[in-house]
Amino acid sequence: MRLPDCVVVLTGASGGIGLELAEQLCAAGARVLAVSRHLGQLAQLMNRYPQQLRWQAADLRCAQSREDVLAAARSMGGVNVLINAAGINRFALLDQLDEAALDELLDINLKAALQLTRACLPLLRDQPRALVVNVGSTYGSIGYPGYAAYCASKFALRGFSEALRRELADTPVNVLYAAPRATRTAMNSNAATALNQALKVGVDQPRDVARAVLDAVQSERSEVYLGWPEKLFVRLNGMLPGLVDRALRKQLPLIRRFSAHPGKESGK
């Protein structure tokens, strides 16, 4: 799809990857309905792109907020791209999370994307060509200790993307699943950052992730995975999971040590 032809509903737009997506979409000539709980740095973008960027305050866990997003999308004359980029992450062992934290993670990472996509499908089907983009994670393909709940949400999002793509195969709507690796954002917890440094994990800038996602949009891909050797690990985990089991078991002492001091939540 050509970016200047895109009218986009973008969730998680006030920071990290979402904010970069908003900026790059506007710079390319797209019109964007930016959805987030708080305005944040979007205020600066709205000053730069007053004709292209509109903000809709919403807590996507709430049905009324999703209705508000849908109404705003209709007022723009319809949309042809939905980008589900809202998400949170918590680096913690499963028994370190309480019930409220688990519910919040699944509600934002998974249920909000399913519910908003379902609500937007009639608008998307009305377009000659349309696209749903679900921003997942490498951890949607590799179960990683310290991220069991996060992996659950992203594995499910990947499965949803694959099934929905097949479900809509005879419609104008395609589905793109984008899987970044670790991304440098202000929301990363100190513990997660320290673990990445200790393990020498590659970390991408949000602008690079956004650029890769939009390249995939323009080239009409169905999946995009970012980072090396993460792409290799995804393939290995699919073919030889026992090998990955043994490799990750060696990292458990480090993971347990850093998860004991999780700090603030992280998102990517």
Widest Cα–Cα separation across the chain: 54
Catalytic residue among 49, 144, 150, 177: 150
186-222: b (≥16 Cβ within 10 Å) or e: ebbbebbbbbbeeeeeeebebebbbebbbebbeeeee
Q: Determine which helix (DSSP H) or strand (DSSP E) holds 24, and give its type and residue range.
A: helix 16-27
> Which tokens is 226 given?
């970012």
Distance of alpha carbon 233 from the chain centroid: 20
SS3 at position 219: coil
> What SS3 state is found at 204?
strand
Strand runs labelled E in 4-66: 7-11, 31-36, 53-57
Q: Identify whether 225 is a catalytic site residue.
A: no
User: Are 112 and 11 a contacting pair, CB within 8 Å?
Assistant: yes
- Cβ neighbors of 32 (< 8 A, separation 6 or more) are 8, 10, 13, 22, 25, 26, 52, 53, 54
- In degrees, rounded to 5, the angle at the alpha carbon of residue 256 between the alpha carbons of residues 180 and 192 is 35
CA 257 to chain centre: 28
Q: Active-site residues: which are they? A: 150
